[in-house]
Amino acid sequence: MVRRDVVAARVARAAAWLDDVERSFGKPVEELLADVKERDLALFYLFLAIQECIDLAAHWVADEGWSPADDAGSTFDVLAGRGVIGVETAEALRAAAGLRNRIAHGYALLDARRVRDEARQGLPSLRAFLAAAARAAGL
């Protein structure tokens, strides 16, 4: 990737948001659900972290001159197709993009327990993607 400074800033921001999400979602589920402000803030940080990964993926594809994907989730498939991230990581990130859409468009109707469980399973893939992006940028 060409813009190392952009990648470094995006990776750092997303990692910080993921740290906050992990802290909140690491609490017992009943405690998290009882604290509406913390729950909502954790969902917002998760949304931001996933969006940052989507933006990084699009930046990566564009900088390499590869054909853009049809949608945000498919951008990760482009990267997997080029061998720069694993297929399993791409699948998990495509699911994360779908989760991001659910947070964005159905916030008040979300099953916070389900989102918490999905997020806890997907956090390692988000972190793996951030590490791959950092390596690709020479960071």
The string of pLDDT tens digits covering residues 35-64 is 989 988 999 999 999 999 999 999 999 988
In sequence order, the 6+-apart residues with CB closer than 8 A to the CB of 23 are: none
Q: What is the reported pLDDT for 18?
A: 96
User: Model-level pTM?
Assistant: 0.89
8, 62, 101, 114 from 24: Cα distances, Å: 25, 34, 21, 14
Q: What is the reported pLDDT for 79?
A: 95
Q: What is the reported pLDDT for 105?
A: 84
Name the average pLDDT for the chain: 90
Q: What is the reported pLDDT for 124?
A: 92
**What confidence category does residue 32 fall into, taking pLDDT thresholds of 50, 70 and 90?**
confident
Tokens coding 49: 């972290």
In sequence order, the 6+-apart residues with CB closer than 8 A to the CB of 84 are: 60, 132, 136
**Architecture (CATH level 2) of domain 4-137:** Up-down Bundle (1.20)
Kindly report which listed range (63-67, 104-108, 115-119, 126-130) carries the lowest average pLDDT score.
104-108
In sequence order, the 6+-apart residues with CB closer than 8 A to the CB of 86 are: 80, 128
Q: What percent of the chain has pLDDT over 90?
A: 56
pLDDT digits (tens, 9 = 90+) for 71-98: 888 899 999 999 999 999 999 999 999 8
Question: How far apart, in whole angstroms, are the C-alpha atoms of residue 22 and residue 82?
Answer: 30
Is residue 43 within 8 Å of 119, Cβ to Cβ? no
